[in-house]
A and B are shown apart, each in its own frame.
Chain A
Amino acid sequence: MNRTEIMAQIVGILEDVAEISPDEVNEDSVLMDDLDLSSMEILTIVADLEETFGIRIPEKELRSFVTINDLIDYLSTRVG
């Protein structure tokens, strides 16, 4: 799966979990600041990503997820 496809999945999940319009999301968006996500919402998004991509994301990776780009970078290495 390439970066564009991964981005599309993330955008879909953001819309479902937090009603964030796809227009508001870009690769540099900061999860907690630009997208105003709570830590609980980030966990829900991570769970949805795990289900979508059929992977388990280890606890210690969560710390590196600050921007959308971080999520795409990580997912690319796992499912790219």
Chain B
Amino acid sequence: MGFEGHLVDTVYRLITENMEDIYADRPGLRYRGADGKIVTVTFGDYAKDIRRCVGYLNEKLGGAQRRKVCILGQNSYWYAVAILGLLAADSIQIPLNQHKRWEELSYELDLVKPDVILWDGDNYPWRDQLLKEWGDRLLPLEECTRADPAELHETANPYALSMIMFTSGTTGRSKGVMLNQWSIMITGRDSICSWRAAVARAKEMGYTEETFRLSHFSTLPLFHIAAYANLLHWPLYGAATNLGDARSFYRDLADMPSESVAVVPSIAEMLHRDILRDRRDKIGPLWILMCSSASFSRETLLDLSRRGILIIQNYGMTETGSGGLVNEAQDEKHIAAGHTIPCMEYKLENGELCLKGECLMLGYYQNPEGTAEVLDADGWLHTGDLARIDERGFVLLTGRKKNVIILGSGENVSPEELEALLNQCEAVTESLVREENGKIGALVYCGEGGQTKEADVQAYVTEMNRTLPLYKRISSVHFSAEPLPRNAAGKLQRT
């Protein structure tokens, strides 16, 4: 495999140089096939399917350039091929979160008005609505390789809009983050920061240039910027991506042994428990944890590090296009911190971390007001995270300025959205939704003499949870005997 990568800056070069030439015979992607067996695709064959996908898109769309294509489905080989195919075809892709409720998906579809939707046809709760409203634009994702391989061309403009990814807004309505391929590719080049740390550790472990192997396991959804960016970054180093599913995490990990795993806090905690319980058999040759998407417990990271796991952290948000902060320091003081990457500048403004650089989003889709709220005239993105910077230049996050709950699963949830649902319960006078140990908790006031109504509220929450995706469920309800504290402006006090 070798200790060096081949760092290119466009998707065209990634396909034609890395996949079709330098690493052509190496495993590029592994996944579980329909018969349950693991399929290994070499980079060369993967690239051929990407070319077929470009051919398919050109055929179906009568030229795919600048056309808008949504992707809706579980992680799969075809999903990965479609992502790269759409980039190679210079289309605009919109990977959507299939776990969302129809109202949200429908809002996003109406906003972007896709030319076609590639979907996996699974039995989703919103299947009937999708067929009714968008039936004439649906194409089966699995058919995207059923065409002759197309001729590829270097992109006309790597800075042009090439993807829209939806992120939760503070008031519930999601916002479409516009990114270009340059953003993802340049952070790939700069992720050499963490690659070097992995190589240094590999050398300590006794690997040589010839014996060094790295396969990266990811169950994070491909509509999420971290998984999406990984798909484009690992081929820079000739490392294989093992595409798993969160639902079959351990089975997939056992069948696709991996040295590196992408994790959110709840997965890191689960793996930590396995190690503590002496169940390393469940995690195979794993020695690198790529942590992203939410704050991790410093104690857990330190303990994992002491037990031989290399902790690499990536801090970023969809708006930073997979750029942001990187960290490979393993010491007690810095393990939960981060430092900048070459393509980014950072500063603190009233304690808020602000980032600037080529990888930032182009703005929110059809939402100039929303864009102006986070991206100022000088190009600084206001992250909404409070931070301090220590004497060695490490950034340490200290809290959130914006009212968004970031859960252990990495999902962002707007408390107002859940409060609005809770407040529909007759027994609830007012409510406050907040994060409690990585999960969602609610504080409810039922009015004077409200104790008698508490059972009604509990029952209401149980039923309400049945209508929500797993990650949005309220896991505990506490009751307040007093009205909830409000600030001078009459807003709920959240801290």
Contact = CB atoms under 8 A, between A and B. Distances in A.
Contacts of A6: none
B475 A33 contact: yes
A30 B124 CA distance: 24
A32 B270 CA distance: 15
Contacts of A46: 247
B266 interface: yes
B475 A63 contact: no
Contacts of B473: 32, 39, 66
B125 A40 contact: no
A62 B247 CA distance: 11
Contacts, number: 73
Contacts of A32: 439, 465, 473, 475-476
A63 B246 contact: no
B235 interface: no
A30 to B, nearest CB: 7
A60 B470 contact: no
B469 interface: yes
Contacts of A43: 246-247, 249, 470
B257 interface: no
A61 B54 CA distance: 35
A62 B123 CA distance: 12
B277 interface: yes
Contacts of B269: 38
Contacts of B475: 32-33, 36
A58 B121 CA distance: 12
Contact of A44 (B124, B249, B277, B408): B249
Nearest to B246: A43
Given A33-B475, A39-B473, A63-B125, A47 B251 contact: yes
A77 interface: no
Classify chain B: how many residues form its interface, as a range. 20 to 34
A62 B466 contact: no
Given A38-B438, A39-B473, A64 B466 contact: yes
A42 interface: yes
A47 B122 CA distance: 17
Interface string A50-66: 11000000111011101
Interface string B10-33: 000000000000000000000000
Contacts of A63: 125, 466-470
B124 A66 contact: no
A60 B439 contact: no
A24 to B, nearest CB: 16
Interface in A1-55: 19, 30, 32-33, 36, 38-44, 46-47, 50-51
Nearest to A57: B247
A30 B277 CA distance: 25
A36 B277 CA distance: 19
A60 B246 CA distance: 16
Contacts of A66: 462, 465-466, 473
B439 to A, nearest CB: 7
Interface string B107-125: 0000000000000001111
Contacts of A36: 475
B125 A60 contact: yes
Contacts of A47: 247-251
Interface in B120-144: 122-125
A29 B251 CA distance: 27
Contacts of B470: 39, 42-43, 62-63
B220 to A, nearest CB: 11
A33 B408 CA distance: 15
Interface string B261-287: 000101101100100010000000000
B471 interface: yes
A43 B270 CA distance: 12
A43 B123 CA distance: 17
B465 A51 contact: no
A67 B458 CA distance: 13
Interface in B449-469: 462, 465-469
A58 B471 contact: no
Contacts of B471: 39
Nearest to B279: A16
A67 B465 CA distance: 11
Nearest to B250: A44
B409 interface: yes
Given A43-B470, A47-B250, A60 B124 contact: yes
Nearest to B74: A59
12 contacts: A32-B473, A32-B476, A33-B476, A36-B475, A38-B409, A41-B270, A46-B247, A47-B248, A47-B249, A63-B466, A63-B467, A63-B470
Given A32-B439, A38-B439, 4 more contacts: A40-B264, A59-B124, A64-B466, A67-B462
Interface of A: 19, 30, 32-33, 36, 38-44, 46-47, 50-51, 58-60, 62-64, 66-67
Interface of B: 98, 122-125, 246-251, 264, 266-267, 269-270, 273, 277, 408-409, 438-439, 462, 465-471, 473, 475-476
